[in-house]
Amino acid sequence: MKKIFILPVLLFCVSCSMNSLAVKAASKTLDRGMQSVFKEKDLDYSRQALPANLKLIEILLENSMDEKLLENASLGFCGYAWAFLEDSSPAQAESFYKKGIFYSSVLMEKKKISRNGKINARAVTKKNSPALFWNTFCKSALINFDPSNSENSVMLGETQQQAEILAQKDPAYLNNAIYAVLGSIYASKPRMFGGDTQKSQYFFEKALSGNGASFLLNKYMYAKTYAVAVQDEELFIKTLESVINTENADENISFFNEVAREKALKLKEKKNEYF
């Protein structure tokens, strides 16, 4: 009887081991694939190709909460919502942002930089900061997408706190993008609730310094939030035209720059809604 019992257990363990190895191998392949997405200039191709990859990541996560899969799910769902869904499918955009927040929250717990939703700032390092970055990016994007939603606005305080931690721990990640997040937060909040256009300008100057100058998302957010907050129409137009006309200088961020360019064109057409 014991031999009959042990054999299925051993077979089950081997199966689990093989399953884990298969997930790990797929995770590495998908990670390399997601990195190639950053270099993609053809947005139509990315729009059509990414959903299948995101669904595969979710299927694999059902078998193993692999950290790389969680990171790619976080950036994948948030990036896709920001790039392609905000204008065409608002309900789906909100759903994708929430998925990105969920997966990045799980990843932060696994990396022990968060417990029960509370961030341990001392545990954040350059090595594990991407988990916190994508959680912060997802929350910030969701808030900007629908600021009138009370559920979203509740996250504003924690989003700002997380961004401030990242600005101390790993500000250069993704071409100074966290400074643009902070700049947009200070530009978007009412003054009575801590909004400060001078602080916003300060953070956008940092966002646009060094490698951040070639990351067109930073410029786009500068126009969309700061220029609108101070009602500087000339700066709004000048900055958007710079985004539209600047050639991509770094192939590793081609995707982000092409999306920023496309969004800048649409935002410029809506100028009269803001001024």
pLDDT of 24 above 70: no
The residues with which 119 forms a beta bridge, in sequence order, are 114
3-state secondary structure of 251: helix
Predicted TM-score (pTM) of this structure? 0.87
Q: Is the pLDDT of residue 8 over 70?
A: no
At 185 the three-state DSSP class reads: helix
Tell me how far apart the alpha carbons of residues 222 and 243 are, in angstroms, rounded to a whole number: 11
Q: Cβ neighbours of residue 56 under 8 Å, at least 6 residues apart?
A: 26, 30
Amino acid 67 reads E
Beta bridge partners of 115: 118
Spacing of C-alpha 230 from chain mean position: 26
pLDDT of residue 3: 43
The per-residue pLDDT for 228 is: 97
Compute the mean pLDDT over every residue in the chain, rounded to the nearest whole number. 88
Say what percent of the chain tops pLDDT 90.
Answer: 65
Please state the rounded mean pLDDT for residues 266-271: 96
Average pLDDT on 26-36 reads 66
- Measured in whole angstroms, how far is the alpha carbon of residue 190 from the centre of its chain? 24
Per-residue confidence at 33, pLDDT binned at 50, 70, 90?
A: low
Phi-psi region of 231 (alpha: psi -120 to 50; beta: other; left: phi over 0): left
Return the higher-pLDDT residue of 94 and 65: 94
- Quick one: pLDDT at residue 1? 40
Q: For residue 20, what pLDDT is reported?
A: 66
pLDDT at 32 over 70: no
